Amino acid sequence: MDSAAAPIDFRTDPSRYKHWKLSFENGVAYLTMDVNEEGGLKPGYKLKLNSYDLGVDIELADAVQRLRFEHPEVGAVVIRSQRDRIFCSGANINMLGLSTHDHKVNFCKFTNETRLAIEDASTQSGQTYICSINGIAAGGGYELALACEQILLADDGSSAVSLPELPLLAVLPGTGGLTRLVDKRMVRRDHADFFCTTAEGMRGKRARDWRLVDQLIPPSKLAEQTQKIAEEVAAKSSRPKDAKGIALPTVERQIDGDTIRYSHLTVEIDREGRSAKFRLNGPSSAPPASVHAEGAAFWPLALAREFDDAMMHLRLNETEIGTWVLTSQGDAALVEAYDAVLAAKADDWLVREIVLYWKRTLKRLDLSSRSLIALIEPGSCFTGTLLEVALAADRSYMLDGVFEGSNLPAATIRLTDMNFGPYPMGNGLTRLATRFLHDPSQVDELKGEIGEALDATAAEEAGLVTFAPDDIDWEGEVRLAIEERAGFSPDGLIGMEANLRFPGPETMETKIFARLSAWQNWIFQRPNATGPEGALKLYGTGKQSKYDRKRA
């Protein structure tokens, strides 16, 4: 399966869903899985037994996002299955067998980000997710359940949860299942070991006693009890039950050759240089009187949605474009004014969701396996929220002075309150705290610079940029940095960047991605899993895999 041959579109809405159904009752949203077997994203496989591919998860991610913005009245979300005795059998095995390595890894990364968004909604937005399992929840199906705050299991002697990837496929769970078992649900190590090597999984009392699920419910009462539990959770939610949500229309974009244009963002692809230049445009006018009235057109939300879509498009459809060059253009004062609104109205449910969306979007940037280079030039508006984009870069260049013949003033950057808390990385620290891990007092000192326009010299002295060349050296240094990146091994760069981007404390989130980065790029390419006689290739044929028995 060559993902580049048929571009994957991450834009969808409930009217186009093939695999999920949304319904609402008494402050509860019911997200019902009913996968269309013939609705796979690519030809060559059927999505049997509520198994999923990237297309199924694109719809799930869209639903999770829409529930936060369009339904402030919803305080709980129930994930359930339409199929009798089947919850979800996980990622489709035939799809994985047909997929290129890069597609498998990007698929796993996106499903992880979606499940983290579910957990973020539960912990940060008062929209708690509950999973109601009416049958078999295997592999990725159980991993979806693990992302929820409560797992309810039908106590019928056959409904079960399992992570059968190792015994059946010679791979590991691809969506954080192992980490969530021991870190989130605190399953004992010996219990987890037995569970993950038992293909049929666990059911009934043992599943509950080992903390694999929270409650056992007779199948005849599962729907009724699920509704009762969800409505009790929803009643306790802090979400504004009488508020009106905002619609999230389809993100508009135009792809013209190697240029992708949005309202507030342009991406230009240089295929020869294997790079893409992002230009994030600042707002064209002052903040509106009402964020709610502006809705999805509110500049921070509109730009976040476009940036998010562009990153996902390049991740899946432009895998050979290895370097993303990050630039901005606009009025720094206007960006600062919008940041002031986000800070002042932080208690407003919609503003909270916009800030949380930016947090997730910036995390997606952190986790993208691309080299990130920020260019801060005259006309840039790397201020506050947009400065986070530059701080996420692997290195940054800020022009000292102006370009000869240009009438644009020298570049500056500005810190705002938004740089000091609202956008933590996966390690739980802000990008500034991560940057100055050796001396946290520098972060406190930088608070005194909030609102100040820092030129290249000041920014370099403050440690906020990597290099500050003048116009004589600018072109050569920038060109060399981009060309050098294109000449290195992509595998080596991915490993190096992932190791360097997340210093400091380890969290469940960083564990999930670090461990997956390791096993996806090793086990997924080992003959025991993906070779001609590997378990993933022979699954369903009745043939026995022949393993290379050496321990490495």
Give the CA distances from residue 189 to residues 169, 178, 203, 210, in Å, rounded to whole numbers and listed in that order.
22, 10, 18, 11
Q: Looking at the DSSP assignment, which residues form a beta bridge with residue 374? A: 326, 396
Residue 529: pLDDT band with limits 50, 70, 90: confident
Backbone angles phi, psi at 277, to 5 degrees: -105, 115
Superfamily designation of domain 14-235? 2-enoyl-CoA Hydratase; Chain A, domain 1 (3.90.226.10)
* Residue-wise pLDDT tens digits, 455-481: 999 999 999 999 999 999 999 999 999
Token digits for 293? 């009235």
Q: 222 near 132, Cβ under 8 Å?
A: yes
132 in the Ramachandran plot: left (φ > 0), alpha (ψ -120 to 50) or beta?
Answer: beta
Mean model confidence pLDDT for the chain: 95
* Residue-wise pLDDT tens digits, 346-401: 999 999 999 999 999 999 999 999 999 999 999 999 999 999 999 999 999 999 99
> What is the distance between the alpha carbons of residues 421 and 423, in angstroms, rounded to a whole number?
6
pLDDT at 4 over 70: no
| For range 1-24, the mean pLDDT | 85
* Residue-wise pLDDT tens digits, 266-305: 999 999 999 999 999 999 999 999 999 999 999 999 999 9
Give me the CATH code for the 254-500 domain, please: 3.90.226.10
| Side-chain-facing half-sphere of 488: CA atoms under 13 Å | 18
Same CATH fold assignment for domains 14-235 and 254-500: yes
> What is the distance between the alpha carbons of residues 54 and 108, in angstroms, rounded to a whole number?
9
- pLDDT score, position 471: 95
Helical (H) or strand (E) element with 161:
strand 160-162
Residue 5: pLDDT band with limits 50, 70, 90: low
Residue 551: pLDDT band with limits 50, 70, 90: confident
Please state which of the ranges 28-42, 247-261, 307-321, 498-512 shows the lowest mean pLDDT: 498-512
pLDDT at 157 over 80: yes
> What is the distance between the alpha carbons of residues 518 and 179, in angstroms, rounded to a whole number?
14
Question: What residue ranges do the domains of the chain occupy?
Answer: 14-235, 254-500, 522-552
